[in-house]
Structure 1
């Protein structure tokens, strides 16, 4: 006789995620970091998370870390620098976790430069740059000989390197791990949609007009959800300035320098290995208007990119994580990237 979960007390108990005991440390093999509920949704719908761990310091909307028996774990920070830094720090410093051998994947959505990507495309970052640690003068008051309204902290003119800073302006991730992540995910089938196909007609750039794809290019963090070609062009110059031309930002988001700051501090404390951190952003929107739009029209447009980005972030990050999980005996000691 087959019993339904509704009529089987034991089955119902087994179907409910187990709350991890305080005495047992959770040691994720791969920890996925998402920023809000819709990014987490595909993971929650497709993965068998059987263990929940409550962590003091997490955002009240996302108070637990979910883990599977296979060692895949998921946490959600809530949006913005403050939520990201505090939530990641809460998990990284928690005595409930052992992250010393964990591989961490930040997997979220963001804007994309139409020269480098399109709606639904997925991009692994080697450099992560903060867009906001600088001086800014209102555009109506900028000196006539300035080329931008933003200058580096302590600098005299645009284009001059900052003379002081916070130390969190630029993060460089393990380039070999990034290359590996790209190699094992470049052929992952990505979803596309009719609304996104139609919306791409606003853009002249070849990358923007095409179907979603996977690539390597860098990401730019800002608590301000900015939009438009003039700001974007100034941000391109800012990224080039801070990285001596090494970085090309293609995605924009609101958390990553904050999350990486928390992970870096934990690494310096010997709690995790920063060389095991990877970062993936998928394109839910373009970061500037198309040839026949104003910036405001573009910002408010329904491009169709959001559902593509959330699904493709899951697909690509999952494919990368699966390589590690399936070969944990080799990956446990060190990244197998050569």
Structure 2
């Protein structure tokens, strides 16, 4: 089978042996995969490693083989992969041993994958292959952030810096489906317009004076994944006693905070990452109920995955970048 791998110090499209079926597992002929920022960072984390690793966490496809003991799935089923490994029940934090598909295990940028049947769910009927392929990791991240951590409710106002990220596009749609008001920011006028198209109520320029523009808004929840560049600016518009949730950092990880201002404001700060299998199933039910579709910005064929990496690294996308496979 063909796959896109990290090997040595290089990213390579090459031929690998087909995976072999095992007890309790299934082999999926993949139709699409989704590119995440995590994939961009894995080569530097692995360093020079002679063992080829198939990259990719998100994917969807058709069951090709079923291992002994698998009862819920049959050959021909259209499925989506849950990339969160070893986190079955919802809990305050991931359990020890939690991993994400695509390192250290081989991932989804390949024509086939063998994976534990517990990591597989039926594909929502309203999604095409590209939409299903880019769904899992960012949608699960957004779902846990918004519902488990922020505990959003109807009538809340949510502030999301960085409207163009994959997770942000899910957050906007999830929050609107839950009856919340959504305010977003971006440096790009085009991305601000697209954010409004998918449900954002107010879209403001990153370089504007947020406190002045939002002085008549009551921000109940801030969801910030940018890091140092926006953390304190985001905190400045949050209501006293409000919730701030962070799930990533596209700028510097370390920030400086006025702790006295923070505790006098009685703010609540939460960290979040990925989610459990329970939350994954809840998320799939939620998007099916509300007919929510991922925003797919661009699709690249598997043999041109390097171009997809370059495109995502440039940061011009609004939504997700998909990899087309076996089509």
Assess same fold via TM > 0.5: no
Greater strand share, 1 or 2?
Answer: 2
Q: TM-score, normalised by structure 2?
A: 0.29
Which is greater in Rg? 1
Q: Which has the higher contact order (CA 8 A, sep 6+)?
A: 1
Greater helix share, 1 or 2?
Answer: 1
Q: TM-score, normalised by structure 1?
A: 0.28
